[in-house]
Chain A
Amino acid sequence: MQNLFDLAVTVNGTRYEHAVEPRTLLSDFLRHDLGLTGTHVGCEHGVCGACTVLLDGSPVRSCLMFAVQTHGHEVTTIEGLGTIDHLSPIQEAFQEAHGVQCGFCTPGILTTVKSFLEQNANPSEAEIREAISGNLCRCTGYQHIVDAVQLAAEKMRA
C-alpha cells in the first residue's frame, strides 16, 4: 500500500476531502470515490473525449490527470451542468435536437460545449465541428450534435 494524499477539491460546487493514492486517475476518482458516474471512460489514453470534464472552467481529459493534481482546484462534471428537473440550456437543446443516441459520448461533449459556448456565443457550423473534433461519437454521425449546439447557442443568447 502506498502513501495516501489528502486531497481537497471542489466538484460541482461541493468541497470534498478525500485520501487518495497518487496514481488514482481523476476519472476513476470521480466515478469510484465520488460516485459521479456521469463522466464516462472510453479509451483512457486521451483519444475519445468521453471523460472530458472542466478544470477551473477549461475542458480537460479526466483520464489524463491524477486526482491529486486537482488539489485546491474546481472540477465541473456533467452532473454539475443541470438536474433532471432543471436542465441547462445545453442539455435541453441536446434533448430537443436529438443530439443524443446511446449517450456514451454525451457527457464529454456537453462539458466541452459548455466551455466553447462561453467563449463563442454565436459560432458557425465550422467552428462547432472544430470544437467537438476531440470527441468521438459512434452513433449520431455528428449532424444532430451540431444542430443541438446551434440550438443551445440560440437558447443561451436569448
Chain B
Amino acid sequence: MKPAPFEYYAPTTVEEALSHLAEHGDDAKVLAGGQSLIPMMNFRLVQPSVLVDLNNIPELSYIRPVENGGLRLGAMTRHHQVEIDALVAERAPLLHETMPKIAYSQIRSRGTFGGSVSHADPSAELASVSVALGGSFRLQSQNGERWVPANEFFVGLFTTVLEPGELLVEAALPSMPVRSGWSLMEVARRPHDFALVGVAAVVSLDENNLCQQAQMVFLSAGDVPMVAHKAIESLTGQAPSPKVIQAAAEIAASEDIDPGSDIHATAEFRRHLANVLARRALEQAFKRAGDNQ
C-alpha cells in the first residue's frame, strides 16, 4: 500500500460531487484522471483524507460546438478523446496539434482536460494553450458558478483561483479570427516528457498583411503560463518580417519570461531555447495566417 488511507466517494452527478466537496471542504480532493494526483499520493506528497472521484459522472465528458465557432469541453474529457476528435481538429487546430505532445498514450487514455488545467503545472501544455486561445473556465460550487478567463485562472505554481468546494466543470475555447495562424513548439529531453521550454503562438493578419493580433504564451518558463506581453506589443501593427520576428523572440526570451534552473536545464539555457522556439513558432504561425483565407 503506497497512498495513505482515504475515504472514497464515486458520485454519478455533478450535484452529488459538489455536495461531497462542500461537506468535506479542505480535506477533500477531486480525483480526475489521476495521472498527476496518484503519483503524488504514491509518494505521499499529498495525503487527502477524502477523495471524490469524478470518473462516473458522464455529464462532465463531452466536446460540443458552439454557434459562434468555438468549442466547449467538459472537465472529464480525456486527452485521448480530444486528440482524435474531428471537431477539435477543425475548430481548434492548435489544440489538435498539441495533444500528442502531452505524455504517452497510456497517460492520455486517463488524463483529463479539467485535471490538467486544475493541477496548474507550469509545464502543462493545456494551461498555456488555453491562455493562448483566449479560453475560459466555468467553476461551480454549491453556492453557484462563475466563469474565469484562463489568463486569470493560474495564480502561482500549482495554484489556481479554485476555492475549496469548487469544481472546474467546463472549458470554453473561442474560435480563432479569420486569417489567423498558430504554432506550438517545445523541446523535451525525450519525446513526450514534460518540456524544458515550450511556446504556444496565435497570430492574425489584417487586409494589408500586418499583424493584427498576436498572442504568445510560454510553458516551463515561470510559475504560471507566461504571456509574452512585451514581445506581443512589438509585433502588433507590424509586417511580420524575419527581422521583426527575431526581435520579438529576443524580447520574449529576455524580458517576458522567468525560467528557473533545475537538474534538467539552467535558466540561461531555457532562455536560449525560448528565443529559438519563439522565432520558429512565430514564423510558422505567420506563414499559416498568410496561407489561410
Partner-B contacts on A (CB < 8 A): 2-3, 5, 21-25, 28, 44-46, 49, 52, 55, 58-61, 63-66, 68-69, 71, 112, 116, 130-131, 133-135
A117–B110 alpha-carbon span in the complex (Å): 20
Q: A24 contacts which chain B residues (CB < 8 A)? A: 1
Answer whether residue B19 sits at the interface, using C-beta atoms and an 8 A cutoff.
no
**8 Å CB interface, B3-44 against A:** 3-8, 10, 34-35, 38-39, 41-43
Contact A49 to B106, CB < 8 A, known contacts A22-B51, A24-B1, A64-B35: yes
Task: Judge whether B6 and A45 touch: CB under 8 Å.
Answer: no
| B1 in contact with A21 (CB, 8 Å) | yes
The reply to whether the CB of B243 lies closer than 8 angstroms to some CB of chain A is no
Task: Give the secondary structure class of A's interface.
Answer: mixed
B109 adjacent to A60 (CB under 8 Å): yes
Q: How far is the CB of B237 from chain A (nearest CB, A)?
A: 41
Which of these, B1, B10, B34, contacts A23 with CB under 8 Å? B1
A to B CB contacts below 8 Å, 28 in the list: A21-B1, A22-B5, A24-B1, A44-B39, A44-B42, A45-B39, A45-B42, A46-B35, A46-B103, A46-B107, A52-B106, A59-B105, A61-B35, A61-B106, A61-B107, A61-B110, A63-B38, A65-B34, A66-B34, A66-B38, A68-B8, A68-B10, A133-B104, A133-B191, A133-B192, A134-B103, A134-B104, A135-B104
Contact-size category for B: 20 to 34
Pair count A-B, CB < 8 A: 89
A22 with B80, Cβ < 8 A, contacts A28-B1, A59-B109 known: no
Please name all residues of chain A whose beta carbon is closer than 8 Å to the beta carbon of B6 when the two chains form the complex.
Answer: 22-23
Looking at the assembled complex, report how far the CB atom of A3 sits from the nearest CB atom of chain B, in whole angstroms: 7
Instruction: Report Cα–Cα, A55/B34, bound state, in Å.
Output: 15
